[in-house]
Amino acid sequence: MMNAVNLTDVKAVKSYYLHKLDGNMQGKYSIYIGKKSGIRLIIIPLNREYEQWEEKNFDIICLNTQIVEIQEVSKHYE
């Protein structure tokens, strides 16, 4: 089992496919936790003040995020 120090560690695990969402989900990110089953987490990365990042650079957000808010656990495309 792996412990992540920040979101960069999660991003490094390609099977999780951590990526930004857009449209009405802007500011949120998706992590697949069961690619074959289609289950994913929708998260919001939080800064050290437990607030959503104003930063827009994905790599900077990943490197500096140690806290996430889980918004949803869902079966994608259902």
Cα 77–Cα 30–Cα 24 angle in degrees, nearest 5: 75
Per-residue pLDDT band for 1 (boundaries 50, 70, 90) equals low
Pull the structure tokens for residue 17. Answer: 């496919």
Rg value, the chain, Cα: 12
Give the pLDDT of residue 33: 86
With CA atoms as reference, report the closest residue to 7 among 69, 68, 70. 68
Can you say whether residue 38 is alpha, beta or left, with left for phi > 0 and alpha for psi between -120 and 50 degrees? left
38 phi, psi to nearest 5 deg: 80, 15
Q: Model pTM? A: 0.85
